[in-house]
């Protein structure tokens, strides 16, 4: 206690606090808040009764007996029913009519779209058929024109050389490398040519390359098939100018059909070059044969 009020200020503060608390207690005791006992009720008072409807000024103390004279006011309800039923019926009918009309419209639109699509497909198919017929007619016309031109050339050539046609001519004999009778070749060809393929000419023109040496003889390869293109032949030549080895269809060839390769190799082996004592015993070079059906 001595440490709690050991200063003048602490003792003074404690005295003031005690006086204030005493005054507050006195004020609360005499001037405190007032209240009712029991407390006042709030709300709306409801009249005693035993039914949902009633009439008169005398308050019964007990439940009333049931009587047939008491009638519920139904006139107003009947009026309401008479007014609302037709309106409801009319609204329901209108809604149903709108739904039916909407469904009919949707079905009609769907049917029309299907009909339009079918009609369009039929038109496209018809156009395609007409185009197909036009293309076929143009092809047939081109074939007929080509046959007519060939027939005209045949007749012209037949008249010039005395008629060598197998079916209508009067010439005897035949020529070709097959076992069947006839005159093998092309209507535009040369009667004195050895080849039987191409469009009136054909051949295998060559490009020769062997250092500074020149070819002395350049036999052409025979044409034995309807193929064309470039065939490169690798050759080995001795000092006397003789081809001792030939490999046809090496890199650079554009057509390695056997009928071209075999003839190119045969022609290369027959080629002769100038002799050169200073050349290697096996000098390597190339021959490029160009096979063409129209030259």
Decide if 28 is inside a domain: no
Decide if 275 is inside a domain: yes
Q: What is the pLDDT of residue 164?
A: 46
Q: Quick check: 12 pLDDT over 70?
A: yes
* Distance of alpha carbon 274 from alpha carbon 217, whole angstroms: 9
Q: Work out the average pLDDT over 153-166.
A: 62
* Distance of alpha carbon 143 from alpha carbon 149, whole angstroms: 10
Residue 165: band (very low, low, confident or very high) from pLDDT cuts 50, 70, 90? very low
Decide if 130 is inside a domain: yes
Buried b (16+ CB within 10 A) or exposed e, 80-114: eeeeeeeeeeeeeeeeeeeeeeeeeeeeeeeeeee
Decide if 60 is inside a domain: no
Decide if 267 is inside a domain: yes
In this prediction the pTM is 0.37
Decide if 70 is inside a domain: no
Convert the pLDDT of each residue in 28-57 to its tens digit.
877 766 655 555 655 555 666 666 677 776
For a pLDDT cut of 90, what percent of the chain falls above it?
32
How is residue 106 written in tokens? 């949707």
Instruction: Tell me which residue range forms the domain holding 248.
Output: 203-292
Mean pLDDT, the chain, as a whole number? 76
Neighbours of 16 (CB within 10 A): 10
CATH of the domain at 236: 3.30.2420.10
């Amino acid at each position: 206690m001595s440490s709690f009020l050991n200063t003048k200020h602490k003792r003074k503060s404690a005295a003031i606090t005690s006086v204030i608390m005493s005054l507050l207690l006195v004020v609360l005791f005499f001037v405190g808040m007032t209240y009712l006992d029991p407390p006042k009720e709030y709300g709306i008072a409801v009249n005693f009764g035993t039914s949902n409807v009633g009439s008169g000024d005398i308050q019964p103390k007990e439940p009333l007996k049931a009587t047939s004279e008491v009638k519920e006011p139904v006139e107003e309800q009947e009026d309401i029913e008479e007014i609302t039923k037709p309106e409801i019926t009319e609204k329901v009918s209108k809604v149903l009519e709108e739904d039916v009309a909407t469904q009919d419209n949707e079905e009609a639109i769907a049917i029309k779209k299907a009909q339009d699509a079918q009609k369009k497909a039929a038109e496209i198919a018809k156009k395609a058929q007409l185009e197909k017929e036009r293309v076929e007619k143009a092809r047939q016309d081109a074939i007929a024109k080509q046959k007519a031109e060939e027939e005209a050339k045949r007749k012209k050539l037949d008249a010039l050389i005395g008629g060598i046609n197998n079916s209508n001519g009067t010439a005897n004999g035949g020529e070709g490398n097959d076992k069947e009778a006839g005159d093998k070749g092309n209507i535009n060809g040369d009667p004195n040519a050895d080849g039987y393929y191409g469009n009136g000419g054909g051949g295998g023109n060559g490009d020769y390359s062997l250092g500074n040496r020149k070819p002395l003889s350049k036999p052409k390869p025979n044409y034995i098939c309807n193929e064309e293109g470039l065939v490169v032949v690798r050759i080995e030549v001795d000092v006397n100018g003789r081809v001792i080895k030939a490999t046809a269809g090496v890199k650079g060839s554009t057509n390695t059909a056997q009928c071209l390769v075999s003839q190119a190799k045969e022609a290369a082996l027959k080629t002769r070059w100038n002799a050169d004592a200073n050349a290697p015993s096996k000098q390597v070079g190339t021959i490029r044969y160009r096979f063409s059906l129209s030259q």
